[in-house]
Amino acid sequence: MEAVILAAWKWERLMPLTQTKPKPMVKVFGKPILEHVLETIQPFVNKIIIVVKHHKEAIIDNFWKAFKWTPIQYVVQWDEKGTGAALRNVMVEEDLVILNGDTIYSSQDIKNLIAHKGYGILAKEVESPSLYGVFEIDQQGLIKRVIEKPSNPPSKLANIGAYKLPADILKYVHEIPISPRGEYEITDALNILFSMYEIKAIPLWGVFLDIGFPWHILKANTYFFTKYEAGIYGNWDIEDWVQIHPGAVVILSQGSRIKKGSVIAWNLFLWRGANVGPNSFIRDNVVVWNNSMIGFSVELKNVVIGDNTKVPHLSYLGDSIIWDNVNIWWGSIVANLRHDEKNVFYLVKGKLTDTGLRKFGCVIWDGAKLGVNTLIYPGRQIAAGQTTLPWEIVK
């Protein structure tokens, strides 16, 4: 059986994180999203086909021709948009598994999908089905059709982009019309398939991490920390006078260090060469990537810090994503809570979007530099290479 991973889209909802790299290469718990997907599917297939387009070189250069000895073939999507268009250059002659490249599935769910004797699609029961593509099923659990964001949903079973299908799906994606959104949708091809094959809705068993917005990265990191028991893992260099909460998960990679006087109040993951301290305060779930430096009297709370980023001293960053090669100078503060304590809104594709979170700070992308004492309002973003002046307030 072959697997097809859809990894071609630009994913504007994740801007500015996808400003300089494709979304599948955005890291979650220290690995690109696509690597999590490949690790999940690789044991069950003999070949992987990845459909690429946006910043495709970043994907091809990272995974090259194989993943753990499973061959990889790359197919470039044409200029036509949509999940249906993504399959138009794919050629296989046997049953196939199709997965979204921006979603992390559990190994057990993928195993259940592939082990199913016939064809199937993973389905997740959701509270607000009108926000999803929803399956209409019969009494045997066979799918009759999928309806995109229906006003009167026929069920609560949402399509989450994990399919085991006959090769005929690759024929029908050439027969579908363009949708009102201006895209060729895989769901239109599926509705043709449902009239010809018995395809079952397979209930989701485990985790489903859809990294659709930046704050989903923080949620995913929290999930991965729960897979560890409390304790200290890996090669560590912890200086004297460091306090670590007994219930915390602390993961230290080679060359990382926690310096004296630091307090680790909750979970911390330091990648290679990352340093924390002296006198830093770490709480909630913090991931610091390769060769980054968290310096004197810096407080981090539920934060991702990218590669080669510097937060030298006397700053507070909460509920935020700070990417690669960023410099955050003395006294900079990210506010993560509105005074009225309402949900934080974030600008997505030119529209303010409710994060659903009372606490969310900011997103700072590659190469940005903050002047001393920069203050950032909740829900703001700073684009790649952008700078702020000393004492600037980012409203």
Give catalytic residue positions.
Answer: 313
Is omega for the bond preceding 71 within 30 degrees of 0, making it cis? no
Burial class (CB in 10 A: 0-12, 13-18, 19+), 306: buried
Q: How many CB atoms lie within 10 A of CB 281?
A: 19
Among 128, 193, 126, 131, residue whose Cα is nearest residue 157: 126
- Residue 130: which region, alpha, beta or left (left: phi > 0; alpha: psi -120 to 50)? alpha
Written as six digits, the tokens of 264 are 């680790």
Distance CA 194, CA 169 (A): 10
CB-neighbour burial class of residue 379 (10 A; exposed 0-12, middle 13-18, buried 19+): buried
Question: What is the Cα 294 distance to its own chain's centre?
Answer: 24
